[in-house]
Structure formats: C-alpha cells, structure tokens
Chains A and B, each alone.
Chain A
Amino acid sequence: MSKLYDLTLRIQRTNSEDGKPRYQTYQLQAGPIMRFVDLLRMINDDQDPSLTWNSSCEHGQCGTCSMRINGRPMLACELLVENGVEMFNTTTFTLEPLQVATVVRDLVVDSDEAYERVNRVKPYIIDPLPPGKDGEEHQINPDQLELYVDATRCINCFCCASACISSHRTFLGPNAMLATIVRVLDSREQEKKERLKTIYSDQGVYRCHTSKACSHVCPKEIDVAHFIALAKKGFALE
C-alpha cells in the first residue's frame, strides 16, 4: 500500500494572453490510490498554483473534470494512479483539454460554447402530456422506461463528443443526441415531430460514422452508440 510512483505529467497550458498552447512538465511522487484530481491539486499546492483546471463533485456525477489523458477523454476524478499506470503502461502522462470548445485556460474549455449544442436540442419536455387525473403522476411502465433509462444517466461531461470522429462543428454530438432521443421515447413528450427533425437534420445522427468511440469512452458506461443506432433505424419501436 505504501508504494510510491514517480510520475511525469506533461500538461498542455494555454494562457488567455496569447492563446497559444504549450506543454509544461511536472515531476511528482504519488501513492497508488491517489486520483488525477489529487495530482493536480498537489501541483497547485506544491509547485505551481497557476496551473488551471476544474472539478466539482469529484466522484463521477457532474462531469466537470473531464480532460484527455494520454489522448483518451476521461474524468480525472475517476482515474487512480495505479490504474493509469496499468492502463497506459507508463508513468508519463500527457494531460490536455477536451476538444469540444475553445480553451479558456490550460485544462479548462469554454463549457458554455460546448453546452450550446445541447441547448439546441431542447433538453426538456417541449409539449408535456397532461397528467391523467388531477393530482396523480403519469403511469410509465417500467419496461418502457427500461428502453431509455440508460440514456438519462448522461452527465454531459462531453467525453463522447471529444472522442467522436465527427467534428463538433458539423455534428451536435453524441450527448446532445442522447438528450433528444430520451424525449422521443418518453411518453410524456408530445412534440415528437420537432425532435425527429433535429435528429435527422444535417447536424444530426447521420453525421455519426459509427466508430462507437462514444460508447467506448463514456465514464457512465452508457452505450451511446446503441441509442444513435436506434435513431438511425427510425426508432424501430414505432
């Protein structure tokens, strides 16, 4: 348990003054169950307080600390040092921001810009089905819910969007697709037409090249590609 790893972190830095990325290398020692967010905090406390990154819940529920670690989009709060060493077979790690929006500084990207694509698919019920009786909830069969409940687990960490081989300039993105697909399948949404129009628009699911990178990198282990395939098949349920 007391083993220490000698780690090299090569971190992409971008300042707001000239906007040009460069790499800075930090050396540090850390135990096996320290997480990458802990490493970044150690660098801030002991070496360089100006290295800028972000996190919030730090246990995989909010998706704030997503970044590329050796090229792979993931949550820095979920990667333990010993697992990182085993996964990449190295003690040298390159940390870079996600490729989903303009970099604000170092590892922080402009999340407003990234979220704008989610906002465009209207992540809410556009035209709600009125409840049956006054004061009662809608009835939703658990088997029906099971068809889409996995897609509701998305936390908008944008790892899928960063891994996607389609450009975010032409594709709204896997996570945005999930947000609208859920509401196609949710019986409480009456506005299906507008949703389908978005899904089959020139920025919709046909931009997907079926690389399945989204499913591969999703920290919540959602089979994103399955839902996109379902949409491509015209929701064969219908």
Chain B
Amino acid sequence: MKIDIDSTLRCDVLIIGAGGAALRCAAEIFEKRPDTSIISITKVTHPQKSHTSTAQGGLAAVDPKDPLDATIYHMFDTWKGSDCTADQNVVKTICESAWEQILWLENRGMHFSRNRDGRLSKRTFGGHTRNFGESSIYRAVFEADRTGKGIMDTSWGETLKKGIRFLNQTIGIELLIENKQCHGVIALKQKEGAFIKILSKATVIATGGSGQVYRVTTNCRQNTGDGLALVLQSGLPVMDPEAVQFHPTGIVGPGILASETLRSVGGILRNRDLEPFMIEYAPKMKELAPRDLVARAIESEIRGGRGIVNPDHDIAHVWIDLTHLPDEVHEKQIPEVSSFFKRYVNLDTKTDLCPVRPSNHYHMGGIPTNAWGEVEDKNREIIGGLYGAGECAAASFHGFNRLGTNSILELITMGSLVGNKVVDYLKTMPSAHHDLIPQSYQPRFHNYLNSSGKESIGTLRSRLRTVMTEQVSVFRTEDSISKAIDTIEDINDRALHTSITSSHLAMNQELVQRWELENLLLVAKSICYAARYRKESRGAHFRDDFSVRLDEFNHHSLVGIDDNGDCHLSRREIDMSLFEAGGEHSEKFDFIERSY
C-alpha cells in the first residue's frame, strides 16, 4: 500500500471544489488574467454533479431598471433576515453588485426564464420586501425550477472554454500551511488511488455545505463538510457553525424541498390524528407563519407523539394535506412538487396525504473570511494565499438565518470577489513555488487503512446523523446538546476500530467514507460546542431553555479544535458599518427586532 506522495503538480491557483462559487471564481481569474494556470479538484464525478445544480427557486438581485425596488431594501431584508448577525460590509458589497452578476451569467448563455418583452422574469420570495418590510417585491430572477443548474452549466462552460484543469473525484486531505501562508494541498485522486501534492500560489476552498451531518437533509450525499474539516485540522477556526437552517417541509425519504408554495396555495399541515395543528401555534397566520415557527410547530407535534412513521424510512413526519384543492391548483401552481411526491414516494397530491418534516437545508456558518474571501485565523489575521467562498465559507452574508434566493447570489458574488482578490495577490507573488512536507495525512490514512475491528463506518455515520437530528436540530437545550457531544465522543472512539475491506487504493469507496466520517464528526462537534455556548436563540439557532435573542451574544462564534480534540471558543465582532455610517436609513441597520 502506497500512501507516499505519487507526484507533484504546480499551478498558480488551486480551487478545492468545482461548484458555483469555485467556477465563478475561476472564470473571473481567467477573464482578468488569461494565462493563469488553474486546477480545480472535486469529490464528485464532474462539476455538473455539484450541489449548486440542485438549487431551484431563484437569484435575488435588484434590477436597476425597476422603479419600485432599491438596493438598500435588499440590504435591509438580508440584515433583518440574518437576525442582525450578518456583516454589513459584506451585505453592502454583495447586494450592490448583484445585478452585475446576473448580467455576467446572462451574457454568457444562462437560460433565464423570460417575460413577454424578452426580459428576465422575476418572482417574489419570503423575506424580500420593498420599503423596509412594507410589502413583498419581485426581486428574484430564475431559470424555471433549475436556477442552480443554469449557474453551474454556465460557469462550467466558461472555465472549460478558458482552459481550466479539472481533477474530478479528487479530495483535498491536508492544507500545506507554514507561517500563516498556504502553499497548496495534499490530495487523493480516487480513480487512480494516488496521493498527490498540488503546490499553488493561491488556494481557494469552495467545498460546499455540510448537510450530511444530519440524518434528514435536503443536501446531496457529497456534502460532508470537507472544507470545514480541512481548516479545523490545520488549527484554524470555523465561524458560527451552530447557525444551521432547517426547512419546515422536506419530503421524507429522498430529502427534497417541498416549497413554501404548498402552504401558500392552501395546503394544511395535519398530525397523526389528522388534526390541523397550526392553529395551536399561530392562530392567525397558521400555515403561513414564518419558516422557523412552522418548523418548530411540526417538530413539537412529532415530539408529542403525534407524528407518523413509515417503516420504510423510519423517520417521524406529519402530513401536508392538499387533497381539498381543485385539480387546477395541483396542475398549474404546484406541478413540480406534485411530481416529486409522485416520483419519490408514489403519492398523488390530489388524493393522498403527503409526508413532510423539518429538514436540514443550509449552513450559514463556515470558514471565517473577511469581505473579500481571505481566510482568517481566530485573531482575524489573514492566512496568506488562502481563500474561501460559497456555502463552506462565512464572510458573513447570511448571519444566523439565510433568506431564500440569497444563497446562490452569495456564491457567485463571493466567487467573483475572491477571483479579483486572487488576481491582485498573484501580482505580488514570486514565480517559484514553496515546497512543504506534509504533516498529518500519512498517519491518518495509515490508521484508516490498517485499523482492524468490527465497527461499521455506515452504522457509525447513521448514529451520528441520527443524534444530530434528534438533539441538535430545530430545538436545542443544554441537555440535548450535551447528549449529542457524548455520543460524538463515543463514535470517535469506535471509529478507531473500523476496518476497510480492500487494501487497494484505486476507487476505494470505503476509504473515502472513512475520511468523510472524520469530517462529519469534526463539523458536528463544532456545531455542538458553539450551540451549547450560545445560551440564547438567534435566527435558526433555537434554544428551548433560552428562547430569546440576547444583546450579550451580538457577535459571531469562532470554534477551533486542538490536537487533543478539545474545542476552544472565541468571538468575532459583527461589522456594523452601515449603521455606523449614519445618515438616512442607517437606523434600520441597528440591532432591530426580527418580526414579520
């Protein structure tokens, strides 16, 4: 078994990941500096298989031609939605350049849906308003129900055109950092089973989300928090890991979103006894109450023993009842979601009750960066040549709660901002690469391959995901989080006694799953410690035992894990530059109440 370095590659820019943020970044670099050598590595079989491709709804951006909308409204909605924990310099930068990003995609061939004039069609989305919450606004452009796919196809095409080098099915396993400077990464090419060293002048982490930490998630199977684990293993912190968004109505089984539309067209949530329970939790708004409230109501019903369990999935859920709605609603207003129920659980929304439950959806927290995507340590000192963009990073645009359609806006904008920063950075770099000796991957992979025991990687993974869903999701308490931490420690111990069937490295799926298990454990641990420390409720982080937002927690959490596995917490201040600038509307950017 050969776990030594097989070969060394050199490039100007290495991007770990090949989703929307990664490839928008690469495209920007090529446009500004065409002769740059860029390598993009991705765990999936091809960039088009990235999780970005599954984004449905749309991209929020204020159209300068729209007389009703204004960028400051978008900034306000994002700030309020974040429960006052986004960084205002980031909010300003992203909202101000949003339309430019839409044009970038449109001019390069994205197939946006069009109105009768041939212009980009727009949709409304929850939390997006005009005049500081006065009324909803048409702000999201979209490509039917496959907006993310449009972004992915376009950015993949552009980078292919400009000569990027893709290493698909390749994972980054150790960052090469010395004296606060990143020089590249150690990677494993799965197909060949070869460990390689990639030396780069700039390295961008864009590995996507971490949804697989939870059993019930809308995230793709590949989202195992790999980028977060990579920085934690390098002694760097992650920021706001406890800020995890749960969508109230995921379809039980495949983990697909059943969009809010189901409730807005008149769908009724029912428990095991077919009682319409929302009236108990939100007497006026009922099914139309905000996402987090609906999620907590459903979770309360399930906890009260009023959920339903289908033995196939063994996951408790409630029903959404659409059977009373006229055929026309099913066919014209909710055709996509109806087809999901048909295809994935064999149910007809016209005649059957359909199973839904709160599902992990998005990680607001991530690798801490400044407003230009430069990765920072816990003292806010920049790690030279290391950048983060997309869901794995936190600048932070979303704070503790993300608005619908803001995620794919963030990933393309941060991708392009990082691209520009990298171009500037390369001007200052010497032409030679700095070679480093790897420190950690060999003992780790040696242990993965050589440990023997009866523990099953799959079973341990399931146990972790189940405890996180049961104890650290929609509701959290001191007790539940501590219970999860104990389980994580137990799984950590047991993971030392897993064995891998084949010692051949080529396309060794078990080896990759063992590595993923370690990543999931690290991310879960950081979520738990930050959630236990934050004795308040803020955005998507809801503590039963501390149910209101407290001023003393008006800051970001930073969590690092040392070599002994101990967690260390510290804080980062929230950027309040819009508020501090004073002048018209600045009062809207104070720590305001998040009520709708």
- Show the binding face of A for B, using Cβ within 8 Å: 1-2, 15-17, 30-35, 41, 44-45, 48-50, 52-64, 77-78, 80, 82-83, 104-105, 108, 110-112, 115, 119, 122-126, 128, 131, 135-142, 145, 149, 152-153, 155-156, 183, 186, 188-189
* Residue in B53, B310, B313, B510 whose CB lies within 8 Å of A62: B53
Q: How far is the CA of A4 from the CA of B150 in the complex (A)?
A: 40
Residues of B within 8 A of A155 (CB): 48, 53, 149
Stretch from B31-39, B317-325, B500-508 that touches the partner: B500-508
Which 8 interchain pairs have the tightest Cβ spacing?
Answer: A124-B157, A31-B312, A139-B118, A45-B458, A105-B507, A111-B45, A16-B506, A50-B501
Q: Which residue of B lies closest to A187 (CB)?
A: B118
Residues of A within 8 A of B290 (CB): none
Please tell me if the beta carbons of B222 and A137 are within 8 angstroms of each other in the complex: no
With A56-B44, A56-B45 given, name 16 new contacts (CB 8 A): A16-B506, A31-B312, A33-B344, A35-B344, A44-B458, A50-B510, A57-B221, A58-B220, A59-B54, A61-B146, A110-B191, A111-B168, A112-B46, A135-B103, A139-B118, A186-B111
Residues of A within 8 A of B118 (CB): 138-142
Q: How far is the CA of A66 from the CA of B258 in the complex (A)?
A: 24
* A31 vs chain B, min Cβ distance (A): 3
Beyond A124-B108, A142-B116, whether A45 also contacts B462 by CB under 8 A is yes
Q: Which residue of A lies closest to B345 (CB)?
A: A33
Answer yes or no: B311 CB below 8 A from chain A CBs: yes
Please tell me if the beta carbons of A49 and B49 are within 8 angstroms of each other in the complex: no
Residues of A within 8 A of B454 (CB): none
Please tell me if the beta carbons of A55 and B221 are within 8 angstroms of each other in the complex: yes
Q: Which residue of A lies closest to B107 (CB)?
A: A131
Please tell me if the beta carbons of B157 and A58 are within 8 angstroms of each other in the complex: no
Please tell me if the beta carbons of B344 and A80 are within 8 angstroms of each other in the complex: yes
**B114-129 Cβ-contact flags toward A at 8 Å (1 or 0):** 1111111000000000
Please tell me if the beta carbons of A49 and B458 are within 8 angstroms of each other in the complex: yes
* Residue in B44, B53, B106, B114 whose CB lies within 8 Å of A141: B114
Beyond A45-B459, A105-B506, whether A153 also contacts B146 by CB under 8 A is yes
- Among B154, B191, B312, B313, find the residue whose CB has the most chain A CB atoms closer than 10 A: B312
Residues of B within 8 A of A78 (CB): 343-344
**B139-180 Cβ-contact flags toward A at 8 Å (1 or 0):** 000001010011001101110110000001000000000000
Beyond A41-B458, A123-B157, A145-B114, whether A57 also contacts B109 by CB under 8 A is no
Q: How far is the CA of A126 from the CA of B109 in the complex (A)?
A: 10
Residues of B within 8 A of A140 (CB): 114, 118
Beyond A41-B458, A50-B502, A64-B44, whether A128 also contacts B109 by CB under 8 A is yes
* Residue in A2, A48, A83 whose CB lies within 8 Å of B346: A83
* B169 vs chain A, min Cβ distance (A): 8
**B434-460 Cβ-contact flags toward A at 8 Å (1 or 0):** 000000000000000000000011110
Beyond A44-B458, A45-B458, A124-B158, whether A34 also contacts B509 by CB under 8 A is no
Q: Which residue of B lies closest to A44 (CB)?
A: B458
Beyond A50-B502, A56-B222, A123-B157, whether A62 also contacts B48 by CB under 8 A is yes
Answer yes or no: B51 CB below 8 A from chain A CBs: yes
* A61 vs chain B, min Cβ distance (A): 5
Which parts of B535-577 form the interface with A (CB within 8 Å)? none
Q: How many residues of B contact A (CB 8 A)?
A: 72
Q: How far is the CA of A147 from the CA of B148 in the complex (A)?
A: 22
Please tell me if the beta carbons of B120 and A137 are within 8 angstroms of each other in the complex: yes
Which parts of B44-101 form the interface with A (CB within 8 Å)? 44-46, 48-51, 53-54, 64-65, 99
* Residue in A44, A122, A128 whose CB lies within 8 Å of B107: A128
Q: How far is the CA of A155 from the CA of B156 in the complex (A)?
A: 13
Q: How far is the CA of A149 from the CA of B283 in the complex (A)?
A: 44
Stretch from B249-257, B402-410, B422-430 that touches the partner: B249-257
Which parts of B234-267 form the interface with A (CB within 8 Å)? 253-256
Please tell me if the beta carbons of A1 and B311 are within 8 angstroms of each other in the complex: yes
**B333-359 Cβ-contact flags toward A at 8 Å (1 or 0):** 000000010011110000000000000
Q: How far is the CA of A49 from the CA of B117 in the complex (A)?
A: 55
Please tell me if the beta carbons of B220 and A56 are within 8 angstroms of each other in the complex: yes
Q: How far is the CA of A112 from the CA of B18 in the complex (A)?
A: 14
Please tell me if the beta carbons of A186 and B109 are within 8 angstroms of each other in the complex: yes
Beyond A33-B310, A59-B344, A78-B343, whether A124 also contacts B109 by CB under 8 A is yes
Q: Which residue of A lies closest to B310 (CB)?
A: A1
Please tell me if the beta carbons of B114 and A125 are within 8 angstroms of each other in the complex: no
Q: Which residue of B lies closest to A30 (CB)?
A: B312
Jot down 6 A-B pairs with beta carbons below 8 A, ordered by A.
Answer: A16-B506, A83-B346, A142-B116, A145-B111, A152-B150, A189-B109
Residues of A within 8 A of B345 (CB): 33, 80
Please tell me if the beta carbons of B160 and A119 are within 8 angstroms of each other in the complex: yes
Q: How far is the CA of A60 from the CA of B340 in the complex (A)?
A: 10
Residues of A within 8 A of B109 (CB): 124-125, 128, 183, 186, 188-189
Q: How far is the CA of A8 from the CA of B54 in the complex (A)?
A: 32
Q: Which residue of B lies closest to A134 (CB)?
A: B103
Please tell me if the beta carbons of B160 and A123 are within 8 angstroms of each other in the complex: yes
* Residue in B54, B64, B111, B168 whose CB lies within 8 Å of A135: B64
* Residue in B102, B119, B254, B501 whose CB lies within 8 Å of A139: B119
Beyond A56-B221, A77-B254, whether A156 also contacts B48 by CB under 8 A is yes
* A113 vs chain B, min Cβ distance (A): 10
